Structure 1
Amino acid sequence: MKAAILHQPGTPLTIEDVTLGDPGPFEIRLRTVASGLCHSDLSIIDGHMPWRFPALMGHEAAGVVEAVGASVTRIKVGDHVVTSPSAYCGACEDCLGGHMSLCETPGNRRAKGAPPKIALGSATVFPFFELGGFAEAMLIHERNCVAIRKDMPLDRAALLGCAVTTGFGAVARSAKVQLGETVAVIGCGGVGLATINAAAVAGASRIIAIDRVAAKLDAAIQMGATDIVDASTTDAVEAVRELTRGGVHHAIEAIGLKATIEQAFAMLRRGGTATILGIPPQGVKLELAAMDFFGEKKIQGSLMGSNQFPVDIPRYVDLYLQGRMKLDELISRRISLTDINTAFDEMRGATVIARSVIEFPA
């Protein structure tokens, strides 16, 4: 099968023929229908996060199950599935306590000494998050996916695996935004736009979108933002505090920069919460005003929206098919696998508003 292989950070991905193994116990093989390009993939490609090479990137995908291995109970041949990086064991303290996204023992890797899932000649290929969505087919653990309704378009369903799960989960599960509260979202890429949509669905009274790119702010209005702040010309903290007469209940940061994380905390009202979705570079330290904590302001992280994806993703499918969730607007471009390097260049240059989605031929 064809796959986009990364041999070393800082080099282009190359389209090569790789060999996919047969499904082992608890594994499924699926034909990839669509796969979204995410900044997490770009972080590995550009060398900002460690991984093993050669690598097969891609983790935000959807497809049709072609084969299942022994002991698979949740998935069957012919199912339409959405993949998720948040594999879970279902038995640890985090899983049993309702925090599946924090599971550290998902058991979704093959045992040491077992044949590789993916091979390039004699070399083992290492799929990102044990997924590897930039390929015509995927071999994954059943705990890395969930079956969905077959009337859901799979190109849009792919976005549920990361961007939407992160944005909607940040609002519903991490921040727990309540009806009538105010929300500021810093960064209006794919995750930020999904967060804005989620805040609108939750009934936030004011949703302030903050970015430096005019086209992204325009997109934010379409997703439900009530106000926009152009951070290239305006002090975002002052603007938010003025719009809300003192600050927001929730500031959600979807970029991962020291400055914007600190801004999220600074634009809170008393008792407000800053929720951080963006992944900052390793070693970054934050500087926060200590006295703000005496106003009961809080800051927290959110790992993929604190998701419980086997429950959440089917619900999101229902929301989309009911017309309450916006997914069509999150697809900026539909591309082929051979366009992948150009699409990542566009991501680096911030010329893609939300998501580029690879569509694979049937």
Structure 2
Amino acid sequence: MPRTALAAVHDGRGNRLEIKEIQVADPGPGEVLVRLGASGVCGSDRHVLDGEWNLPSPTVMGHEGAGTVEAVGEGVTGLAPGDSVILSWYYPCRRCRACAAGKAWACTGTRAPECLLPDGTTRLRDGDDVVYPYLAVGTMSEYTVVPESAAVRIPSDVPFDVASLIGCSITTGVGAVVNNARVPAGSSAVVVGCGGVGLAVIMGLALAGAHPIIAVDTAEEKLAAARSFGATHTLRAGDDVAAQVAELTGGGADYAFEVIGRVETIETLPSLLAPGGVGVLVGLPPEGAKAGIDVLELAEAGKTLIGSNYGGAVPSLDFPRLAELYLAGKLPLDSLISHRVRLDEVNEAFDAMRDGTRTRSVIVFD
């Protein structure tokens, strides 16, 4: 029987979300019905709302979510009603070459970017009209239906607001450090951009034993947050950052992470690196953005630029690991959440993100 759910829906026009009632069908074969406990408010959602990325619409926004399994479809064997789960916004097909190689983040068989389930449909409706769940999860809704591979069981004592962030920003940030860059202990690192994902990168660097850890941002409150999560030095953007990084590290950082997605900062990333250093592109720019890099300088100095998608994560492995690290006190994720909001406060949360006045907002469902 279809049920109703309140959801934050984008009609494809403007940057505002409408809170409206939608219908959510029962899960089909291989699918899971989840009652959401929390949903993060993430910059990737803002890219869509601000017209920088294109999606089918109308769309239930949200891709950082955690909640409780309510029901499972035929053939689901790894989950049961009552399980606590984190949702993965890039569900793996588990059959393609990338999945077989342990690279779930590079899966070529998923239909998540189309906002579709594996059979090419969705379980969401607004009357007779199809509604698309963002990245096939649509977490800004009281209920959602996802493929079994998109729901990862975690310990029930991890709060849903914390768990929701593991679904994207924490995995993306920490994973960029430990999976993509594989930063050795004692390496120097600089992080450009101290929003939610940037702070997760800093937490990952602290976890890996990097030193020094240099944080760069324009907002003093974000730099203060960076210090609380493990940054040893903070710099205001625009204050000849490359020279200051060189002074603090003795010639440039071993690793530099760009976590904004701005062409201007991406272009400066090589200047922050020591010879042989590695720059990691974590921030996501608008579609079609191009950056200019001094290729000769990059080659002669033996510097490397790598892309990081979803922190190089295998959610079925990384989500539980990160949850256990949180429970062990190794990742202070509670402190990352500056505002817990209701679903009907979501537009204000995005406005605050645009203004840079919050660390992280999380929607908490009753």
Q: Fold conserved (TM > 0.5)?
A: yes
Q: Deviations over 1:6-33 (max 9, x none)?
A: 1123142111110001100111011100
Worse-superposed segment, 285-294 or 298-307? 285-294
Separation in 1, partners of 2:202, 2:15: 34
Counterparts of residues 80-99 of structure 1 (less than 5 Å): 80-99=84-103
Counterpart of 1:238 (choices 234, 243, 250) is 243
Check the 8 A contact 1:27/1:69 in 2, yes or no.
Answer: yes
Check the 8 A contact 2:47/2:286 in 1, yes or no.
Answer: no
Q: Does 1:248 align with 2:253?
A: yes
Separation in 2, partners of 1:154, 1:23: 22
Check the 8 A contact 1:236/1:263 in 2, yes or no.
Answer: no
Amino acid of the residue matched to residue 56 of structure 1? V
Q: Does 1:257 align with 2:262?
A: yes
2:47 aligned partner: 43
Counterparts of residues 27-38 of structure 1 (less than 5 Å): 27-38=31-42
Gaps spanning 5+ residues in structure 1: where? none
Separation in 2, partners of 1:25, 1:359: 29
Following superposition, the deviation at residue 107 of structure 1 comes to 5.7
Worse-superposed segment, 103-112 or 86-95? 103-112
Counterparts of residues 213-228 of structure 1 (less than 5 Å): 213-228=219-234
Q: Does 1:198 align with 2:204?
A: yes
Separation in 2, partners of 1:357, 1:41: 13
Counterpart of 2:307 (choices 301, 305, 322) is 301
Worse-superposed segment, 123-132 or 82-91? 82-91
Q: Deviations over 1:309-357 (max 9, x none)?
A: 11011011111111111101110100000101111111111111x2100
Following superposition, the deviation at residue 218 of structure 1 comes to 0.1
| SS of equivalent residue, structure 1 residue 318 | helix
Q: Does 1:337 align with 2:329?
A: no
Amino acid of the residue matched to residue 82 of structure 1? I
Check the 8 A contact 1:54/1:125 in 2, yes or no.
Answer: yes
Separation in 2, partners of 1:58, 1:77: 23
2:12 aligned partner: 8
Counterparts of residues 59-78 of structure 1 (less than 5 Å): 59-78=63-82
Counterpart of 1:360 (choices 343, 360, 365) is 365
Separation in 2, partners of 1:65, 1:177: 36
Separation in 2, partners of 1:326, 1:167: 14
Separation in 2, partners of 1:193, 1:226: 13
Separation in 2, partners of 1:240, 1:223: 19
Amino acid of the residue matched to residue 103 of structure 2? H
Amino acid of the residue matched to residue 16 of structure 1? K
Check the 8 A contact 1:255/1:279 in 2, yes or no.
Answer: yes
2:167 aligned partner: 161
Following superposition, the deviation at residue 75 of structure 1 comes to 1.2
Amino acid of the residue matched to residue 6 of structure 1? H
Separation in 1, partners of 2:27, 2:144: 10
Worse-superposed segment, 16-25 or 116-125? 116-125
Following superposition, the deviation at residue 237 of structure 1 comes to 1.4
Counterpart of 1:318 (choices 313, 324, 334) is 324
Following superposition, the deviation at residue 111 of structure 1 comes to 2.5
1:173 aligned partner: 179
Separation in 1, partners of 2:159, 2:17: 27
Q: Deviations over 1:39-97 (max 9, x none)?
A: 10011111110101111010101000000001112211110000111211222221122
Amino acid of the residue matched to residue 309 of structure 2? L
Separation in 2, partners of 1:149, 1:351: 32
Following superposition, the deviation at residue 119 of structure 1 comes to 0.4
Amino acid of the residue matched to residue 2 of structure 1? L
Aligned residues with identical type, % of pairs: 40
Counterpart of 1:20 (choices 21, 24, 33) is 24
Amino acid of the residue matched to residue 284 of structure 2? I
Q: Does 1:182 align with 2:188?
A: yes
| SS of equivalent residue, structure 1 residue 162 | helix
Q: Name the CA shift for 1:12/1:312 in 2 (closer, same or farther; >3 Å).
A: same
Amino acid of the residue matched to residue 318 of structure 1? E
Following superposition, the deviation at residue 292 of structure 1 comes to 2.7
1:111 aligned partner: 119
| SS of equivalent residue, structure 1 residue 53 | coil
Over the aligned positions, Cα root-mean-square deviation in angstroms equals: 1.2
2:284 aligned partner: 279
Amino acid of the residue matched to residue 30 of structure 1? V
How does the TM-score come out when normalised to structure 2?
A: 0.95
| SS of equivalent residue, structure 2 residue 199 | helix
Q: Does 1:125 align with 2:135?
A: no
How does the TM-score come out when normalised to structure 1?
A: 0.96
Following superposition, the deviation at residue 246 of structure 1 comes to 0.6
Amino acid of the residue matched to residue 261 of structure 2? G
Check the 8 A contact 1:9/1:46 in 2, yes or no.
Answer: no
| SS of equivalent residue, structure 2 residue 278 | strand
Separation in 2, partners of 1:200, 1:206: 9
Amino acid of the residue matched to residue 119 of structure 2? A
Check the 8 A contact 1:9/1:44 in 2, yes or no.
Answer: no
Separation in 1, partners of 2:276, 2:92: 33
